[in-house]
Chains A and B, each alone.
Chain A
């Protein structure tokens, strides 16, 4: 666009926005307010099948202190400028670092990256939003604390605050990250600073050890929401176990998912297998060691025969169940016997440990994730179709075999209709499963981009019609997903929004809330 800025917030004139930018510069300094196309380029790149212009920010603000953020929200209220807050900005497949709507100002908290406290006795951490898992991992290593992290797959460059606030998951016994969150500091739209739970109490030293505080529990309303800006985040860390035994169990056929889930559920609920187990389809693991072009050329989804050949050539199951045992060697020995007995009943399972699979690249990165180590090997997925297109389709399923088979079949059918492959996994919670599918497509091909958009839209429509909700979605589809949860929840979200942020300056559109 012609003018001083590459985009403008909705309903804000260039003159008014220029005045707001001048105020931002007064607070942050000239260099911490980015407005040129070159400066904003890294905020524009997404993996979604929509034009970059739809999510182009008008500016980015690099704040480093709570006081700066308080002043920024004051300016935003004055000029009615909306801000989209990011922490490490690594929400790949969900919108990356770009705002939900064109013209929003990105409040980038990556430089607010102090590790405020790590308590090796009580096993908790308190960090600022820009702290990455890698930064915290190195800190723990440097101090030789016997503590483990739980990370999502983009571990090294992502961070605990953003991942947990978007209710992301990891692969250790602490894999359901929000369950292990404990205490937040939040800058509200008024500029006031709220500390949740015990953090509100003068002289309290229990902010990071007791989650609930007194009265209504508030932390939840600051996740997947736009009700405040989290500036400090507390969470629990897992004590490093004396022993760790990762393993993979492979099954040959797609419909074996029924037996897998029925076998795993009681082991997971009872705690025999304590971690967030992953049941990964062959095509989720294949990119770590195979090239799609060696098995399939031309348009369309990959054929089942080609998948079978990949499995044979690269020692993969149709399903690959990655899990681990943690504890003393004696505990592991007892639980290993329970696990192997359960999985050996039908004769279909192939059970592999580090002894048999330790050199396998898929096993290596899965084992790393299950002990909270840094790896980006899962990004191999992006080489499968090439072209940089990726959306996570993330419906929730009961941990029931028949349900998982139904979801897998539905997803594969709809993806196939649009020429896309099923690269999916189920991350096993206690009673639920996050069914995570990487909708991979070539973002450089306009026809494929259009098909990917239609495919994702159809996935959401068909799944919600069956009563399946998605737990998280990219910024292009937030309104659609919010709609699937019905008008009452949406109105409650809106009521909270009006009460806490009457001018609507905080991330309008997040989770469909305005």
Chain B
């Protein structure tokens, strides 16, 4: 790779799904870009808690857990959005993660305190 500046990433450590590079001075070396993405969703609960919950558990969007929503409906809403709800791209919630979060939301139960549980 042709570089104008040529600082170099020479070490990559995979930690908790995130690749951390340490920078060292290796003159002339190309940055080690690695391959694939750094962050990978673990499961549907993680997608829900780190994305959906910020609106759907905060009285910004409607409650969606505990309503037995059809996973296909959930998938459609995630990819297309709905009015103010933004659409989410496969680049951020990949197909596998979308399947998991749709299943997670669809199967979640309402608990007796009025909240919802998985």
In the complex, are the beta carbons of B7 and A204 less than 8 A apart?
A: yes
In the complex, are the beta carbons of B89 and A379 less than 8 A apart?
A: no
Q: Which of B51-90 contact A (CB under 8 A)?
A: 51, 54-55, 58-61, 79-90
In the complex, are the beta carbons of A128 and B4 less than 8 A apart?
A: no
Given contacts A41-B87, A110-B89, A388-B83, whether A64 and B35 have CB atoms under 8 Å apart is yes
Q: Which of A356-402 contact B (CB under 8 A)?
A: 361, 374-377, 379-380, 382-383, 386-388, 390
In the complex, are the beta carbons of B7 and A379 less than 8 A apart?
A: no
Number of B residues contacting the other chain (C-beta, 8 Å)? 48
In the complex, are the beta carbons of B18 and A115 less than 8 A apart?
A: yes
Instruction: Give the residues in chain B near A126, CB-CB below 8 Å.
Output: 23
A7 → chain B, closest Cβ, in Å?
17
B28 contacts A by Cβ under 8 Å:
yes
In the docked arrangement, what's the CA distance between A111 and B20, Å? 15
Contact partner, A43, options B3, B59, B84, B89, Cβ 8 Å: B89
A195 contacts B by Cβ under 8 Å:
yes
A414 contacts B by Cβ under 8 Å:
no
B37 contacts A by Cβ under 8 Å:
yes
B49 → chain A, closest Cβ, in Å?
10
B39 → chain A, closest Cβ, in Å?
5
Contact partner, B1, options A66, A112, A444, Cβ 8 Å: A66
Q: A68: nearest residue on chain B (CB-CB)?
A: B33
Given contacts A92-B86, A108-B89, whether A383 and B5 have CB atoms under 8 Å apart is no
In the docked arrangement, what's the CA distance between A268 and B41, Å? 41
Contact partner, A45, options B50, B55, B61, B81, Cβ 8 Å: B81
- 7 more A-B residue pairs beyond the given contacts A111-B91, A113-B39, A380-B60, with a C-beta to C-beta distance below 8 A: A38-B79, A42-B87, A89-B91, A96-B86, A134-B50, A157-B54, A374-B54
User: Which A residues fall within an 8 A CB radius of B?
Assistant: 34, 38-39, 41-45, 47, 60, 62, 64-67, 70, 88-90, 92, 96-97, 108, 110-118, 126, 128, 130-131, 134-135, 138-139, 142, 156-157, 185, 191-196, 199-205, 207, 361, 374-377, 379-380, 382-383, 386-388, 390, 443-444
